[in-house]
């Protein structure tokens, strides 16, 4: 009996040492981006913009190609950590690219795009998407970790972020870090959220079109989303005061004040509880652009069953427009959640003279 206890004690000691070593290693290797970092613009847009022009934008959270209709996700109350094979990722990415091509936007704001992650079997998703979309590309990492040690099987290595594809000639692109409510050691393996800001000069003017691609916190207590939204408000208002045109879009992980909450009532807040984006917080004339006739997101508590009463829908994706940008049309494109847990949202706008 003493021998067994000694063996068990030794095993426990080894496990403890390994766990401490892993936390120490991940802490040393933690992704710590600067408050602002310039991002390389790959390729070049050929088109020019000027005041009075109209353009279209599409936003879509592609769920790294691993959150299709046949799967759930452990953070939403499901059981899946990743899909069973690389072939499923490749099938989903093909479907997502076709969906985006059919949306036929000028500018694309994409979220949860993997560069090299275990969960997506190392598929270079940004490169794949760019084969079907026209324009320059800017990518900002928001989830970079050598090894995410939970749950089992583990998530493992993650390199993921947000991608903007833009056919217009851009002057610069910057990654702006957003605050987080997570503290050490949980912070080490969490996403480091950001705004991906691209500036497009307007021909014959000293003004710019400021494009902001975003993906705000999801699984926090709401504090992170509040801080991140406040920073977004401050940034956009500062740009608008300069006379610039501002379009922010992406996955807010929040519902919107202009959408009737009874359309998609939240049945269970245990796994995911969205916040609320108030248009009034941004100031007079700012406009939220979304189409609630079709949900933009589903909860991944189970594989997709459109008729199941446990299927939870949300409107979490859309755009925010400064007062000098006129909204002409907005549409949620119904992809039936076949390849990702989000539907694309497309807007057509005009930059007022």
Same domain? For 39 and 24 the reply is no
Same domain? For 167 and 61 the reply is yes
User: pLDDT of 234-269, one tens digit each?
Assistant: 999 999 999 999 999 999 999 999 999 999 999 878
Give the total number of structural domains in the chain: 2
Same domain? For 22 and 42 the reply is no
Same domain? For 101 and 2 the reply is no
Same domain? For 16 and 131 the reply is no
Same domain? For 89 and 65 the reply is yes
Same domain? For 9 and 69 the reply is no
End-to-end Cα separation, the chain, in angstroms: 85
CA–CA distance, 231 with 218 (Å, rounded to integer): 17
Same domain? For 83 and 221 the reply is yes
Domain hosting residue 13, numbered range: 1-30
Q: Please choose, from the candidates 167, 157, 153, the residue with its C-alpha nearest in 3D space to the C-alpha of residue 46.
A: 167
Same domain? For 44 and 78 the reply is yes
Burial category of 84 from C-beta neighbours within 10 Å (exposed 0-12, middle 13-18, buried 19 and up): exposed
User: pLDDT of 130-181, one tens digit each?
Assistant: 999 999 999 999 999 999 998 988 999 999 999 999 999 999 999 999 998 7
User: CATH number of the domain that 345 lies in?
Assistant: 3.60.10.10
Same domain? For 202 and 320 the reply is yes
CA–CA distance, 124 with 173 (Å, rounded to integer): 21
What is the edge-to-edge ordering of all strands in the sheet holding 194-201? 36-38, 172-177, 194-201, 208-215, 245-251, 317-321, 287-289
Q: What is the pTM of this model?
A: 0.95
Pairing of strands 254-256, 194-201: unpaired
User: pLDDT of 114-135, one tens digit each?
Assistant: 999 999 999 999 999 999 999 9
Pairing of strands 107-114, 54-61: parallel
Same domain? For 103 and 16 the reply is no
Same domain? For 159 and 258 the reply is yes
């Amino acid at each position: 009996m003493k021998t067994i206890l000694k063996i068990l004690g030794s095993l426990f000691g080894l496990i403890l040492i390994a766990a401490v070593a892993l936390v120490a290693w991940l802490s040393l290797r933690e992704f710590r981006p600067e408050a602002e970092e310039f991002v390389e613009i790959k390729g070049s847009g050929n088109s020019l913009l000027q005041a009075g022009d109209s353009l279209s934008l599409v936003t879509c959270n592609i769920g790294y190609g691993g959150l299709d209709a046949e799967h759930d996700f452990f953070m939403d109350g499901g059981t899946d950590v990743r899909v069973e094979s690389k072939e499923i990722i490749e099938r989903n990415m093909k479907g997502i690219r076709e969906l985006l091509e059919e949306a036929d936007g000028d500018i694309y704001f994409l979220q949860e795009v993997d560069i090299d992650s275990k969960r997506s079997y190392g598929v270079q998703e940004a490169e794949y998407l760019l084969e079907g979309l026209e324009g320059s590309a800017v990518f900002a990492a928001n989830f970079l970790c050598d090894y995410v040690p939970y749950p089992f099987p583990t998530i493992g290595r993650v390199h993921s972020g947000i991608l903007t594809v833009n056919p217009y000639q851009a002057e610069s692109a910057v990654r702006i870090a957003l605050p987080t409510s997570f503290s050490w050691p949980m912070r080490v393996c969490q996403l480091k959220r950001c705004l991906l800001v691209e500036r497009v000069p307007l021909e014959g003017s000293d003004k710019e079109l400021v494009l902001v691609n975003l993906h705000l916190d999801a699984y926090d207590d709401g504090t992170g989303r509040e801080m991140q939204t406040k920073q977004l408000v401050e940034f956009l208002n500062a740009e608008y005061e300069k006379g610039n045109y501002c379009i922010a879009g992406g996955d807010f992980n929040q519902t919107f004040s202009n959408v009737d909450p009874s359309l998609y009532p939240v049945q269970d807040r245990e796994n995911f509880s969205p916040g609320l984006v108030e248009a009034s917080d941004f100031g007079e004339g700012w406009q939220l652009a979304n189409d609630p006739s079709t949900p933009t997101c589903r909860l991944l508590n189970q594989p997709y069953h459109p008729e199941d009463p446990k299927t939870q829908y949300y409107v979490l994706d859309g755009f925010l427009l400064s007062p000098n940008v006129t909204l002409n049309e907005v549409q949620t494109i119904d992809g039936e959640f076949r390849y990702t847990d989000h539907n694309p949202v497309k807007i057509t706008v005009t930059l007022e003279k």
